[in-house]
Amino acid sequence: MIGRLNHVAIAVPDLEAASAQYRDTLGASVRAPQDEPDHGVRVVFIDLPNTKIELLWPLGEDSPIAGFLAKNPAGGIHHICYEVDDILAARDKLRADGARVLGDGEPRIGAHGKPVLFLHPKDFNGTLVELEQA
């Protein structure tokens, strides 16, 4: 069902410093920040030859990333994202197999302009999983 790894998302306490570290220290291609108010985050994508890193910073105190950073002040891996061919078919199969889809279970448009869903970390070895329609 899952396809390629789309990205690894890292919550960061300082988006500018994290972006500079990837750009200046690691020599990566760093995109400009973009606000995703529907998800409560500002994101910066780091392009790698085989995938992307998504740096996450909270937009407001109600952001899920604000809560994550309150528990993990230094930041850390927030979620991993896999591509799927058909997000609704993937959702239905996962639910039939007992996996919990977060929110209302309906896909929302993610930072890449494509439908996304999140799966409960307790169902996936403590890892928050995002599915994105390829």
Report the pLDDT value the prediction gives residue 40, as an integer from 0 to 100. 95
The model carries a pTM of: 0.94
Q: How much is the pLDDT for 72?
A: 97
Q: Which of 86, 76, 73 is nearest to 56 (CA)?
A: 76
> Three-state SS across the chain?
CEEEEEEEEEECCCHHHHHHHHHHHCCCEECCCEEECCCCEEEEEEECCCCEEEEEEECCCCCHHHHHHHHCCCCEEEEEEEEECCHHHHHHHHHHCCCCECCCCCCEECCCCCEEEEECHHHCCCCCEEEEEC
Over range 76-95, report the average pLDDT: 98
Class of the domain covering 2-133: alpha beta
For 7, half-sphere exposure in the C-beta direction (CA atoms, 13 angstrom radius) is: 22
Q: What is the pLDDT of residues 111-130, one digit of tens each?
A: 999 999 999 999 999 999 99
Catalytic residue status for 130: yes
Catalytic residue among 54, 83, 130, 132: 130
Q: How confident is the model at residue 54 (pLDDT cuts 50, 70, 90)?
A: very high
pLDDT of 84:
98
**19-40 mean pLDDT:** 97
